[in-house]
Structure 1
C-alpha cells in the first residue's frame, strides 16, 4: 500500500491524558487542561503535521478538535470501531501509533461533525431531548404514587400529565377529596364519556407517604418543563441568528402546518424558520414528517446533505441499510451507522404503520405481515430517509397518491406475475 497522508499524526484521547503519535518519533503525552492542549497544538505545528486523526471518545474530543481546527490542521474524527484491531497488547501508547499508521495509509473514514450555529443548535436540541426523557420518568413516578393510593387515573385517562390529569393531581395535593368537585375540573368530553369510570377511579386510599411521593414527582416534572421551555428559547434565538439575512422564497409562506402531537416546542414560526434554511423545500410534504422531527434532523445532519454522495450513502450512515457480514457459507446482518439519528426516521415509520390513508402505511403493514414489525419499520424508515435526501439535494418533491393508488400498483404486479406464469405453463388467463 502507498501512503496517502504524509505528515500525519494519531491522537488517543482519555479523561486525564492525551497521547500523540508521529511517524519516526517517540510518543508524547499531554494532560487534558486547556493550556496543555494548546501546547499539544504547538507541538504538532513544530513538527509540520498537516493532518490529525483522533477517536470520537465521549465528549473528551470536543475542545481539542476545535483547537486543532482553528490552527488550520486537517482534523479527522473517526469511529473507534475502525481502530479496534490493534495487534499485540493494547495500550494508550500503541493506540495512538496504530491510529497514525492507519490514517497515513488512508484506512480511516471521517465522521460527520456539525459546525457553527448548527452545532450550537444541536447542543440545545439534545439537551431538550434529555429533559423530555427525565420528565417522562417523573410522569411514571406520578403514576406509581397514584396507583400506590389506588387512585386509578392511569387506567381512565390516556395521559396523566394532560390538562385534566394535572388539574386533578394539583387539586388532590391541595386537599380536595370530593369526587364530584374533582370531576368538574376535567374536560367536558372526559366527563361525558368517562364520568362513571372517573368516580370509581378517584375513590382511593390516601396515605401521607403516597401524597408526599406524588408531590415530589409533580414538582420534579414541573421543573423539567421549565428547563424544556428555556431550551426552546435558546433554540428560537439560534434559529433567528441562522435566518438573520434570509427571507422566505416566493410561493412559500406561513400557511397551515401539520399538527405536532407530542413534545411541541414553544417556537413561533418554526415552519417558516425551516423553510428559510432549506430555501423553500418543505420536508413536511413527506409522509410522517412534522416541523418538530424536521428540526431534530436539521440539528443532527444540517442542511447540506450533498456531503453524502448518494441516498445509499446517507441511509447506510443512518444505519438503515442492511449490512454485509459474510464468512464462508454464513451471511449475517450487521448493524452499523448512526442509530440515534436513524431512530428519528424509525419513529416516523412507526406512525405510518398505523396510518389508514397513506400508501407507505399499506407498504409497511404488508411487509410486517411477512417479516415482522422490526423489518417493516426499518424498511419504511429507509424509504423516508432516501426520499428526504432526494428532496433536499435534488429538489425531487414527493406526491402522496394514497392507499388506492398503492393497491392498484399491487394488483398490476400480481397480474404481471400471473401472465408470466401462464406463459411458462402454456396456458391462458380468462377473466371471471
Structure 2
C-alpha cells in the first residue's frame, strides 16, 4: 500500500550520473584553485586584488608566465587582457613578491592538477551533450505546434556551465525554455531536469511535487492541533538547485525578485528562500507538464498588486468596524 520511491527512467538516470560526476570534478578543480591562491599569497603576489578571477584569461596567462620563468612585474602586467578593469601599473604593483622555489613548485603542481580536472570536465561535457542528443525532441511528438526560433538569452553564461549549448538542447527535449524563469540559468536547468526528468505525471499536482522536494510547510498535527509547520529537511539535489536559484534573486528587478525581498522582510532570509524556491518549483512543474511559457511581469507589477491586496484588506477591516477609508490628496509642488 506504499507508493514506490521516485526514480527517473534509465535515460534520465544516465544523464543524472554524468551531471553528478561533472559536479564532483568541478568541486575537485575548485580545491586546486584555492591551492593556486595559497601559493601566490605565500609569494606575496596579490593577483586576486587586481583580477576578479585568477583562472580567467589575465590570471592564468600571468600564472603560466611565472611558471615559465618570468619574474619582472612590468613584463607580467603586459599580459593583461584588454577587458581587465585594472591598468598595467596597478597589476604590476600587485606582482612584486619573492619567488621561493618551494612556493613555485606548489603553484606548478596546483596548475597541473587544475588543468587535469579541467580536461576531465570537458570530457564530461561531451558525454552530457551526447546523452542529451539521444533524447526525443518535443517538436517531433507535437507536429501541430508551430516551431519558433530560439530567442537569445539575456543571462550571462556561468563559468561552471557545460561547454556546449545547454539551453538549446533543453529547449528541444522539454519543449519549453526553463531559463526564462528568473534565477534559473542553463546550468541550474540542467541540474533540475537531470534530477526530476521530463515526465511530470509522476506527481498528481504541483503541491505533490513541492512536497516531494521538501519545499512546503510541514503537517505535524496531533488531535486536530497543528504542532509544527517546519519544512522537512530533505537533502535532495533538485531542492538545493531551487534554493540556490531563489537566493540568486536577492537583487533581481523581476517579480520573483520582488517576491523574495518581500518574504525576506516578513519572514527572514531562510524562510524566504524556501518560499521562493517553492514558487520556482511550481513554475517549473507547470511549464514541463503543460508546456506553458513563463513571462516576467516585472517588479513594478508585483508591487502594484501587493499594494492593491493591502488596500483591499484595509478597506474590509474598516468596513467591518463601521469606518470608511478616504484617500488623502497630497499637494504637488
Shorter-chain TM-score above 0.5 = yes
Match of 1:308 in 2: 203
The secondary structure found in structure 2 opposite 1:188 is coil
State TM-score, norm by structure 1: 0.69
The secondary structure found in structure 1 opposite 2:86 is helix
Question: Residue 24 of structure 2 is aligned with which of 119, 130, 137?
Answer: 130
Alignment of 1:31-110 (within 5 A): 106=1, 108-110=2-4
Pairwise CA distance, 1:352: 1.3
The secondary structure found in structure 1 opposite 2:317 is helix
Q: Provide the C-alpha distance between the structure 1 equivalents of 2:237 and 2:187, rounded to a whole number of angstroms.
A: 16
CA contact (8 A) 1:345 1:385 kept: yes
Pairwise CA distance, 1:325: 3.4
Match of 1:398 in 2: 294
Q: What 5-or-longer segments of structure 1 have no aligned partner? A: 1-105
CA contact (8 A) 1:139 1:161 kept: yes
CA contact (8 A) 1:122 1:299 kept: yes
Pairwise CA distance, 1:412: 0.8
Structure 1 residues 415 and 324: alpha-carbon distance in aligned structure 2, compared to 1, 3 A threshold: same
The secondary structure found in structure 2 opposite 1:366 is helix
Question: Residue 224 of structure 1 is aligned with which of 117, 126, 134?
Answer: 117
Match of 1:277 in 2: 173
Match of 2:241 in 1: 344
Pairwise CA distance, 1:378: 1.3
Question: Residue 73 of structure 2 is aligned with which of 179, 194, 209?
Answer: 179
Match of 2:44 in 1: 150
Match of 2:156 in 1: 259
Match of 2:309 in 1: 413
Q: Provide the C-alpha distance between the structure 2 equivalents of 1:200 and 1:326, rounded to a whole number of angstroms.
A: 64
Q: Provide the C-alpha distance between the structure 2 equivalents of 1:378 and 1:331, rounded to a whole number of angstroms.
A: 16
Q: Provide the C-alpha distance between the structure 1 equivalents of 2:157 and 2:49, rounded to a whole number of angstroms.
A: 25
Pairwise CA distance, 1:320: 1.2
Deviations, residues 215-254 of structure 1 (Å, cap 9, x unaligned): 1111111111100100111111112222489759632334
Deviations, residues 46-104 of structure 1 (Å, cap 9, x unaligned): xxxxxxxxxxxxxxxxxxxxxxxxxxxxxxxxxxxxxxxxxxxxxxxxxxxxxxxxxxx
Pairwise CA distance, 1:426: 2.8
Structure 1 residues 246 and 387: alpha-carbon distance in aligned structure 2, compared to 1, 3 A threshold: closer
Deviations, residues 90-134 of structure 1 (Å, cap 9, x unaligned): xxxxxxxxxxxxxxxx3x442111232222111111100100111
The secondary structure found in structure 2 opposite 1:164 is helix
Question: Residue 385 of structure 1 is aligned with which of 277, 281, 304?
Answer: 281
Structure 1 residues 333 and 147: alpha-carbon distance in aligned structure 2, compared to 1, 3 A threshold: same
Match of 1:333 in 2: 230
Q: Rg bigger for which structure?
A: 1
Match of 1:362 in 2: 258
Match of 2:146 in 1: 250
Structure 1 residues 374 and 171: alpha-carbon distance in aligned structure 2, compared to 1, 3 A threshold: same
Match of 1:170 in 2: 64
Q: Provide the C-alpha distance between the structure 2 equivalents of 1:311 and 1:380, rounded to a whole number of angstroms.
A: 14
State TM-score, norm by structure 2: 0.89
CA contact (8 A) 1:152 1:202 kept: yes
RMSD: 2.3
The secondary structure found in structure 1 opposite 2:134 is helix
Structure 1 residues 114 and 320: alpha-carbon distance in aligned structure 2, compared to 1, 3 A threshold: same
The secondary structure found in structure 1 opposite 2:113 is helix
Considering fraction of residues, name the structure with more strand. Answer: 1
Q: What 5-or-longer segments of structure 2 have no aligned partner? A: 329-333
